Amino acid sequence: MKFIIPFLASLLFAIQISAQQLPKVSPEEVGMSSQHLQNADLVINQAIANKEIPGAVLAVVKDGKMAYLKAYGNKEVYPTTVPMDVNTVFDLASLTKPVSTAISAMILVERGQLRLLDKVNLFIPDFEPWSNGKEKKDIRVVDLMTHTSGLPSYAPINKAENAKGDNKPDKMINYIATVKREFEPQTDFQYSCLNYITLQRIIETISKRDLRSFAKQNIFDVLQMKHTDYLPIGETLELTAPTEKLKDGKVLKGIVHDPLARIMNLGISGNAGLFSDANDLAILVAALQNDGEYNGKRILSPMGVRTMRTVPRSTNSIGRTPGWDVFTPYSSNNGDLFGPNTYGHTGYTGTSITIDPDANTAVILLTNRAHPNDGGEVVRLRSLIANIVAASVLEVNSNDIMVETTPKEATIRNHHDHYYKRLVEFKNEQPIDSKSIVMLGNSITEAGGDWAQKMKNKNMRNRGISGDKVRGVSERLEEIVKGNPKKIFLMIGINDVSHHQPTDFIVNDIAELIEEIREKSPRTEIYLQSILPINESFGIYTRLNGRSAQIPEINAKLKTLARNWNLTYVDLFPLFVEPGTNTLRANLTGDGIHLSEEGYEIWRKELKKQL
């Protein structure tokens, strides 16, 4: 019996590993426009048609959720053609630097085993300083991480192989230790693979483990990133997209493309060599956006994450953080629209990550542009996709950003959890079609329950959401109008009243909503229902105190709107008020707003006249 429990624990752990992915949501559930995101499909497919890339996977992470995940084109075109899918594993190339090497270094900083200001020769004794013959200046860890060390950008394989050392990785680091420095540290920027190969040796010297083992134990296994590793094998190798075709006709697959990583560091390297997929990288991004923690598992502290995405004061004009790019010439993948704190990185094989911490949005674009002939072009494509994703974000909440202040802009929603739960429920229900009759509104509509059963009409659909406002309905309208419903009964506005919005503003928003319905589903019959009265004497909804008189003002304008636009106006208001007042009859409500069953029966009776 004692063996069964460990076995079950292992089995459960294996199941957790295989199942670990970000929760998938519709873009609208996290404040994005799915319609706008579809522009990315057009742009990527055009790049494929132009033979700039064979294929791609795009993942958009918003608020720790997967808001968009799509595959395009082919992951292999030689020797056979294999379609791309969202589980494809890519050679990340230089994305290895931030995803593996820089985070590993920061973990050692947090453990008190490393300082960013430590001299490199503290760990690699033969590592020479910069010198102009008169002065000397030591290269420090932060110089490696920000590419301000002065080391050359790359190294010729033949010269590295001729350096001293018993094996190729030792030869590589010994070559770097003495190669001529090209400028004084922290005075200039030069992107260099040698920086991160050096950082790799420091990590391995301190941890007494190779970089692959350290990163796996402290990052990838912690976050349950199933297909992220150097030297992929098994299922990960099977899922891997190939890169370049070599002179002998063989294609690199599961073997790192970068020559220094492949030949000198035998596939495990600080500058390149990591393989991963969009789902795994999305988990890492979600952890970084959640101050270093995802699903209860932490890889970095909040301070560590902040340090990694902050440009050091000593090199502030250069624009590189310890691991990421903010505004150097290599940061075009950040696009034009994301905020000033956006950071990211690219990989030679066609990969990139862009993260805007203020918008809580990340773009993961993985392409196989190096397949099969090391051609292709992705620089412009990355920027275009970043701009599309940024423009699809409909809400930005940050203490660092000025929020809109006009009355209309001030209504940009900040939905509660129930809103998103309802959106998920809608996705799981029978989709709306041309026979559907949609009850559209807020909690008053939602609380009507199964309208189809109660109205004895199988085509009725409840699309009410508690707390919703006019613009909230507009943001979720796509799910409704794409089915071209037969009828829509619209009642909305009381929550806008509770937010003290002016009458004309509310009516104008409702008019825009109706116009949007007409444009996107022109055959749909629109029934505009009056806003119901309220009863302030219950004292529960204090934000509505003193607002009873505004409701008939709104209804009068809605009636005029319906007449001018040839809509059916359903005037429910007189059916619910105390005679001679604007007050909801007390026997028809339990809280001053929401209806009792008797109230719903009055409403249903009136609707039957329209059906």
Helix (H, G, I), strand (E, B) or coil at 418: helix
Give CA–CA dist 438/487, Å, rounded.
Answer: 6
Give CA–CA dist 37/69, Å, rounded.
Answer: 11
Confidence (pLDDT) at 233: 96
- Nearest Cα to 462, choosing from 452, 472, 471, 454? 452
Give CA–CA dist 568/484, Å, rounded.
Answer: 18
- Nearest Cα to 21, choosing from 56, 84, 65, 58? 65
Give CA–CA dist 530/493, Å, rounded.
Answer: 9
Beta bridge partners of 230: 274
Alpha-carbon distance values, 96 to 110, 120, 244, 357 (Å): 20, 21, 18, 21
Helix, strand, coil percentages, rounded to 5, for the chain: 40, 15, 45
Alpha-carbon distance values, 521 to 455, 510, 515 (Å): 24, 16, 10
Confidence (pLDDT) at 5: 35
Confidence (pLDDT) at 417: 66
Confidence (pLDDT) at 172: 98
CA-derived radius of gyration, the chain:
30
> If you search the block for the tokens 């949007």, which residue do you land on?
516
Helix (H, G, I), strand (E, B) or coil at 460: strand
Helix (H), strand (E), coil (C) string for 20-87: CCCCECCHHHHCECHHHHHHHHHHHHHHHHCCCCCEEEEEEEECCEEEEEEEEEEEECCCCCEECCCC
The phi and psi torsions of 62 (rounded to 5 degrees) equal -135, 125
Alpha-carbon distance values, 233 to 49, 89, 107, 204, 253 (Å): 32, 11, 26, 23, 11
Confidence (pLDDT) at 7: 36
Helix (H), strand (E), coil (C) string for 267-321: CCCCCCCEEECHHHHHHHHHHHHCCCEECCEECCCHHHHHHHCCCCHHHCCCCEC
Give CA–CA dist 540/580, Å, rounded.
Answer: 23
Confidence (pLDDT) at 21: 84
Low-confidence ranges of the chain (pLDDT < 50): 1-19, 398-414
Verdict on whether the full-model pTM lies above 0.85: no
Confidence (pLDDT) at 20: 67
Tokens (6 digits) for 39: 């522009």
For residue 198, give the amino acid letter: T
Residues 383/468, Cβ–Cβ less than 8 Å: no
254: phi > 0 → left, psi -120 to 50 → alpha, else beta; which?
Answer: left
Buried b / exposed e across 300-320, counting CB within 10 Å, b at 16+? Answer: bbeebbebbbebbeebeebbb
Helix (H, G, I), strand (E, B) or coil at 517: helix
Helix (H, G, I), strand (E, B) or coil at 264: helix
Alpha-carbon distance values, 502 to 551, 572, 598 (Å): 11, 22, 31
